[in-house]
Every structure is written in structure tokens, then in C-alpha cells.
């Protein structure tokens, strides 16, 4: 019987495990790094142990430190969550040697599936369809020619993928023989950084398949069952962002085939606990009016852990998968409600990330000034952050998983879209608008999704929504921000005013407020007249403007005959605006900037803190638009900094190994010199 559980993870999944453990009267222990000292999961646990350092290799990947923490607190079991050490056979073995119950499958099962190459070989022997591939061990240094021959033997396109780990890290798609060597080396670096092992493998890449996975569960008495499938096809950078259960492409007959294959895979490796067997499903292109008829499926991998998207399975089965993990780890057989599980309704999960879809999904960092999701029927929020949380650069930038359950797929999609649209997420750029756009897009609602969905649909267009709504949102929010600013200044008792706010000795002159919205400036002119308010945005007057009430945090106004309440939240120069039209993040523009503070034209800035891992240009070198100037690593992934225009590298301000901060100038590209 487990009495005290150490959670060897952080953030959302740490909170998730702690909640289920507490419901079973199991005491909990958290481990935390320096950046996570004030994280909510630390306070939620009964006890916590500090792991000095910040990088995963110093903290959450330290097997010895985590085992020592368990011993120091008297924990008798360890739950690894997902990511980090969750699929590390050495960690499971170290727990066993220390007398700790590892809440997961046996070491042998992890070893069998820990190498995706060995897993494919095992599945092939078991009769499960697999794709052709090859492996590059961490210690090998094959030549570019050898790598090219390897890829040509498989057939292009080729997927280069980390052998140990997942989550889209250490993955590259290669379509040309000349790109193979660079792709392999980049994937190996990311894999070594994220998972501690740079081994990668190459396999044939199936263009735009559906990504369907099956949840399996096994006990120590030899029983293995499946708990139906999940659709995980909507991905960016090979990482899932929307998952659902059941899959809209899977009928009862295919469900039986997938489930049988998954159970056979689990039994072949003596699986216990929660696991997921992932497949690619061919022939279901989202471009077909009917979604396409699946032609077959191929084994992808087995995740020997709990998946990020496990809540959708919980919602459609009514089961608590974490509680089941703990019960199976204690030696209990799978209960009747698992053996006889059935599907009820539909569930969809959206992963809310601190990232910018308009900038190739670059992750962000900083303070999350406000985080609220409305409490709506059928909506669940799994998160590891709160208002005021600091989102750093060392870990995955996922803020929350928002899950909606409904009687039908359409109802679940509508509930989830509404919850996300009404959420207030201030201080960081997120993918929230993209998620809402996908959930309301006709092809998605028709169930015609595959892994190419976000290549067929422009993420920027999905995030912006209908053009007329976007234009109205810009105008209404800008005027509301200006009026709220004036109301705040008028109400602030700290400001001594000999004359009223907005007073002019030239009565006809309007007040002017200028905001930055992305790369554009928005200029609002406004004044109060005897007949009410007048305002213009970028020189275009607003018709039918009525201001019913204006305060620093809310403005009740009507434009073009439509009345709305606009909510505002100011933090320094940032103005966060929310209304039924959506959300806008403005920045105040300094009217009188300090001379010399502007960066040189053509400056390339660091979008987040990180470390320079490659410098691919030198001062004086001509470059074309799109040329990679340097590469830096942040949040366990590599990010390319590219020349925005044709030009010359006028200045290179960083070197290999340098640590850079957000907004730091990395290089300067001079466009004029290229023309010369």
C-alpha cells in the first residue's frame, strides 16, 4: 500500500497527480527547481524538496537527487508524470533498487519501448504494421554521405526523430538528400538536451496522416485492456495542440482493430499501468469532402507513461486514470468499471501555450499577470499556473489544458471555444486565438482533420477570425483603452490636477492616445462635446459612439448601434483588453522617447532568453531574406534567427555559447548595402 508519493515532475501534471493522491489519502512530496520555488504545485504538496539549479539536467533529470529526496521524506513511491524521467528505464531501476514503488510499467517494458527502434522491431515481430527506418546512435558519427545513403534507402520524405522522448523535440522532416546531415545533427542536439540521449532514428514520413492513439491499461495479474482511442492530428511543429476522444475518423470496426493491436502490443511487453500505443492512420485526408476512408494504420510508438491528453479519455469514460495508476501500482486488479468501460459523449482538449503562432510558434516567457478561465458547464481546466505566475525559459511553455465534454462533438467544440474566448490571459503572447479559430473552423467541425491541417489553414488567419470582426475589435478596443486611461488618470488620487483631465485651452483640439499593436501603431483621437463623445481611430471617425460609463477597468460603450462592455487591465505600459469581440494587447507609445534608446534599423532581437548554439554568418557577409544568421536554444528547443530582408550583416553582437536576454540585439542587417 502506498502511503507517501513523491511526484518527480512539475507544473500541471504535478498538480494533477497530487489531487488524485490526496483523494486516496496518500501523502505527497514535490520536488522543485530554483525557478519553481514559488510555483503552485509546490504549495499544494504536503512536503517539498528543493533541487538546486534551473536546467532540467540539474534538477528534474537528476535521478540521484530525486531518489535522495524520496529517502529523505520517507516516500515509498514515485510518480514520474510525463516528460523528464517518465520513460527512463534507469530511473525506474534506481527506484526499485532504493525500495521505492515506481508508478509505471516494469523496467523491462520501459526498456523495450524506450528505444523507438527496438519497439518497432518488437511490434513487427508481433505482426503490427510498421514503417521502414534506420537508427543513428548517440555515439556514432556517420558521414554526411552515409546519412544520405541511409535516408535514400528509406525513401523521402524522411522523419528524423529522437529515439528517447517525445513532445515534438528532436524531430525534423527531410525532403532532400542535401538536408539530411544538418537535420540529424540538429535533432541529436535537441534530443540530448531534452532527454539526456542524442540517439535518433529515421523512418519514412507519411504525408498528412491522422494521428490516432489508443489508451491501454494493464495490471499485475496479466490483464491488459484498451480504453478507446484519441485523435491527436492537429499539431504544430510535430507537437499536439488539440486532442479529442473518440476520433471522428474511427468507426466501431476500426476501433476494434486499433484496440486489438494496442492490447496485443501491451501484452507483448508485459505492460502494467497506463500506456498509449500511437498509430498513423493513412488515407484520411482532410481535403476530402467526406474526410476520406482510412486505408490502414501503422505503429508509431508506445508511450510508457501517462499522456498529456489523458483528460479526454477520463471525460468520455468517467475514470480517473491517475487513481487507477496508483491502485495498479499497489497490486490491485483492474476494477469492473475499467473492464467494462464504454464511451459517453465526446471530449476535446486544447493546450494553451505561451507562444506566438505568428512568429513560428516562438515560446514566450515572463509574468502571467492575469489568468482566468470561465466556469462553464462541461469545462475542466488542468493547469500549473495562477495569476502572477512566472513562466521561465527552462521548461515547456504550456500554461494549461482546457477540456470540454459534451453529448456530441459539436457541443464539446462549442463549449471549449467559448471557454477559451472568454478566458483572460494577460502578460504573455499565447496561442489562445488560434485554438478558438480552429474550434470554430468548418473543416474541423466536420471532423476532416489530419497532421497537415495547419499547413492548409493559415494560423494567422485562424487566429484573427473574420476580417470584419477583427476590424471592429481593433477600433472598439482602442477607443475603450483611451477612455479607460483618461478615467484612470482622473480617478487617481495621487495625481494633483490644477485643471480637469483632458482640459484644453483650444476647445476644438481632441486628446490623442497612441498604442502599439504588434508592429502597427493605432492612433485614437477623442473629445467630449455638448452632444456626447466623438472619437476616431487612425483618422476614421466612429459612428454612433455612446459612452454609458467609463472607468479604469471597464468601459460600457456603443459603436454603430451595438453596445458592449469592454474590460481593461493595465500593467505598466501594457493594456490588456477583453470584450465579446475577443482580446487585444496594446502597449502605450511614449510621446517623448528618450533620445538614443531606439535600436539601429535592421536589428535582429532575441525573442526570449536563451543560449547561442550556432553562428552561421559573419560581419560583412551578404545574406538573403530568410537566411538563418544564428541559432539559439531556449525551452529545450532550437530557434532560428533569420534575416528579414536581403542585405549585409553589418554587425554581429553575439558569439557561440553566449547567453542572451529577451530583446537583446543579436545582429544588424543593413538593407541599403545589399543594393549597393
Cβ neighbours for 23, distance < 8 A, ≥ 6 positions apart: 320, 323
CB 379 within 8 A of CB 416: yes
Residue 280: predicted pLDDT: 93
Residue 120: predicted pLDDT: 84
What is the spatial distance between Cα 195 and Cα 314, in angstroms, rounded to a whole number? 28
- Choose between 29 and 656: higher pLDDT: 29
- Cis amide linkage into residue 600, ω under 30° from 0: no
Instruction: Provide the H-helix boundaries in 74-211.
Output: 89-97, 107-114, 116-125, 144-154, 180-195
Report whether pLDDT(501) > 70.
no
The residue to which cell 515506481 is assigned: 102
Residue 486: predicted pLDDT: 92
**DSSP track, 177-213:** GGGHHHHHHHHHHHHHHHHS---EEEEEPPSS-EEEE
Residue 166: predicted pLDDT: 64
Q: Strand 77-79 to strand 101-102: parallel, antiparallel, or no bridges (unpaired)?
A: parallel
Among residues 472, 501, 439, the alpha carbon closest in space to that of 577 is found at 472
CB 542 within 8 A of CB 475: yes
Question: How much is the pTM?
Answer: 0.83
**Among the listed ranges 104-118, 244-258, 317-331, which one has the minimum average pLDDT value?**
104-118
Among residues 361, 229, 249, 362, the alpha carbon closest in space to that of 307 is found at 229
CB 514 within 8 A of CB 521: yes
The residue to which cell 524522411 is assigned: 158
When pLDDT is averaged across residues 416-425 and rounded to a whole number, the result is 98
When pLDDT is averaged across residues 374-384 and rounded to a whole number, the result is 97
Report whether pLDDT(89) > 80.
yes
- Choose between 237 and 95: higher pLDDT: 95
Residue 287: predicted pLDDT: 45
Residue 499: predicted pLDDT: 45
Report whether pLDDT(488) > 60.
yes
When pLDDT is averaged across residues 649-669 and rounded to a whole number, the result is 87
State percent of the chain over pLDDT 90.
68
Cβ neighbours for 348, distance < 8 A, ≥ 6 positions apart: 242, 243, 244, 312, 403, 404, 409, 412, 413, 416, 439
pLDDT in tens, 161-207: 887 766 667 788 899 898 898 988 888 888 887 777 888 888 888 88
pLDDT in tens, 44-88: 999 999 999 999 999 999 999 999 999 999 999 999 999 999 999
Domains of the chain: 4-103 (3.40.50.20), 132-204 (3.30.1490.20), 210-465 (3.30.470.20), 469-491+508-588 (3.30.700.30), 603-675 (2.40.50.100)
What is the spatial distance between Cα 200 and Cα 115, in angstroms, rounded to a whole number? 9
State percent of the chain over pLDDT 70.
92
Report whether pLDDT(331) > 70.
yes
Q: What are the distances in angstroms from CA 161 to CA 167, 263, 528?
A: 11, 25, 62
Among residues 492, 512, 467, the alpha carbon closest in space to that of 552 is found at 492
Strand partners, 351: 401
pLDDT band at residue 676 using 50, 70 and 90 as cut-offs: very low
Amino acid at each position: 500500500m502506498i502511503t507517501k508519493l513523491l511526484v518527480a515532475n512539475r507544473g500541471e501534471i504535478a498538480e494533477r497527480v497530487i489531487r488524485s493522491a490526496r483523494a486516496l489519502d496518500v501523502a505527497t512530496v514535490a520536488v522543485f527547481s530554483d525557478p519553481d520555488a514559488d510555483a503552485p504545485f509546490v504549495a499544494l504538496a504536503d512536503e517539498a524538496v528543493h533541487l538546486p539549479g534551473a536546467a532540467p539536467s540539474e534538477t528534474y533529470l537528476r535521478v540521484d537527487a530525486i531518489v535522495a529526496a524520496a529517502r529523505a521524506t520517507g516516500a515509498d513511491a514515485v510518480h514520474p508524470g510525463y516528460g523528464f524521467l517518465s520513460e527512463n528505464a534507469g530511473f525506474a531501476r534506481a527506484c526499485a533498487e532504493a525500495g521505492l514503488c515506481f508508478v509505471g510499467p516494469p523496467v523491462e517494458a520501459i526498456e523495450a519501448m524506450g528505444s523507438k527502434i527496438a519497439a518497432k522491431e518488437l511490434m513487427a515481430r508481433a505482426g503490427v504494421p510498421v514503417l521502414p527506418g534506420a537508427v543513428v546512435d548517440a555515439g556514432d558519427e556517420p558521414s554526411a554521405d552515409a546519412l544520405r545513403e541511409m535516408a535514400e534507402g528509406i525513401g523521402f520524405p524522411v522523419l528524423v526523430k529522437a529515439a528517447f522522448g517525445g513532445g515534438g523535440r528532436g524531430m525534423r522532416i527531410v525532403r532532400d538528400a542535401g538536408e539530411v546531415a544538418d537535420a540529424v545533427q540538429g535533432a541529436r542536439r535537441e534530443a540530448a538536451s531534452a532527454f539526456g540521449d542524442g540517439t535518433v532514428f529515421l523512418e519514412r514520413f507519411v504525408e498528412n496522416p491522422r494521428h490516432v492513439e489508443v489508451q491501454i491499461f494493464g495490471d499485475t495479474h496479466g490483464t491488459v485492456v484498451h480504453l478507446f482511442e484519441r485523435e491527436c492530428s492537429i499539431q504544430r511543429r510535430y507537437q499536439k495542440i488539440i486532442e479529442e476522444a473518440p476520433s471522428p475518423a474511427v468507426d466501431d470496426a476500426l476501433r476494434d482493430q486499433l484496440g486489438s493491436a494496442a492490447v496485443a502490443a501491451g501484452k507483448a511487453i508485459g505492460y502494467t499501468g497506463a500506456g498509449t500505443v500511437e498509430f498513423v492512420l493513412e488515407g484520411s485526408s482532410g481535403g476530402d469532402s467526406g474526410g476520406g476512408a482510412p486505408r490502414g494504420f501503422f505503429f508509431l510508438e508506445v508511450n510508457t507513461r501517462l499522456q498529456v491528453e489523458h483528460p479526454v479519455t477520463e471525460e468520455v469514460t468517467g475514470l480517473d486514470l491517475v487513481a487507477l495508476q496508483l491502485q495498479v501500482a499497489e497490486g490491485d486488479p483492474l476494477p469492473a468499471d475499467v473492464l467494462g468501460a464504454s464511451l459517453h459523449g465526446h471530449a476535446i482538449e486544447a493546450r494553451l501555450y505561451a507562444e506566438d503562432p505568428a512568429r513560428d510558434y516562438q515560446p514566450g516567457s515572463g509574468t502571467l499577470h492575469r489568468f482566468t478561465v470561465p466556469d462553464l458547464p462541461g469545462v475542466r481546466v488542468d493547469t500549473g499556473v495562477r495569476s502572477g505566475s512566472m513562466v521561465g525559459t527552462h521548461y515547456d511553455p504550456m500554461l494549461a489544458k482546457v477540456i470540454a465534454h459534451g453529448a456530441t462533438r459539436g457541443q464539446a467544440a462549442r463549449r471549449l471555444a467559448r471557454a477559451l474566448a472568454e478566458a483572460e490571459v494577460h502578460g504573455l503572447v499565447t496561442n489562445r486565438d488560434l485554438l478558438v479559430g480552429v474550434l470554430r473552423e468548418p473543416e474541423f467541425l466536420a471532423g476532416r482533420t489530419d497532421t497537415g491541417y495547419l499547413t492548409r489553414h493559415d494560423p494567422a488567419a485562424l487566429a484573427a477570425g473574420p476580417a470584419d470582426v477583427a476590424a471592429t475589435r481593433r477600433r472598439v478596443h482602442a477607443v475603450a483603452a483611451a477612455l479607460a486611461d483618461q478615467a484612470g488618470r482622473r480617478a487617481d488620487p495621487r495625481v494633483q490636477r490644477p485643471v480637469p483631465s483632458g482640459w484644453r485651452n483650444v476647445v476644438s483640439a481632441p486628446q490623442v492616445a497612441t498604442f502599439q499593436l504588434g508592429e502597427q501603431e493605432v492612433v485614437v483621437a477623442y473629445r467630449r462635446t455638448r452632444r456626447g463623445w466623438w472619437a476616431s481611430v487612425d483618422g476614421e471617425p466612429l459612428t454612433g459612439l455612446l459612452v454609458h460609463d467609463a472607468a479604469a477597468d471597464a468601459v460600457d460603450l456603443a459603436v454603430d448601434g451595438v453596445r458592449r462592455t469592454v474590460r481593461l487591465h493595465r500593467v505598466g505600459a501594457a493594456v490588456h483588453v477583453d470584450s465579446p469581440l475577443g482580446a487585444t494587447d496594446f502597449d502605450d507609445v511614449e510621446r517623448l522617447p528618450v533620445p538614443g534608446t531606439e535600436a539601429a534599423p535592421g536589428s535582429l532581437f532575441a525573442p526570449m532568453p536563451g543560449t547561442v548554439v550556432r553562428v552561421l554568418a559573419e560581419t560583412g557577409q551578404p545574406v538573403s531574406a530568410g537566411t538563418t544568421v544564428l541559432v539559439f536554444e531556449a525551452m529545450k528547443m532550437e530557434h532560428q534567427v533569420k534575416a528579414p530582408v536581403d542585405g549585409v550583416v553589418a554587425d554581429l553582437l553575439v558569439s557561440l555559447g553566449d547567453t542572451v536576454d529577451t530583446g537583446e540585439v543579436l545582429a544588424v542587417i543593413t538593407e541599403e548595402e545589399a543594393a549597393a
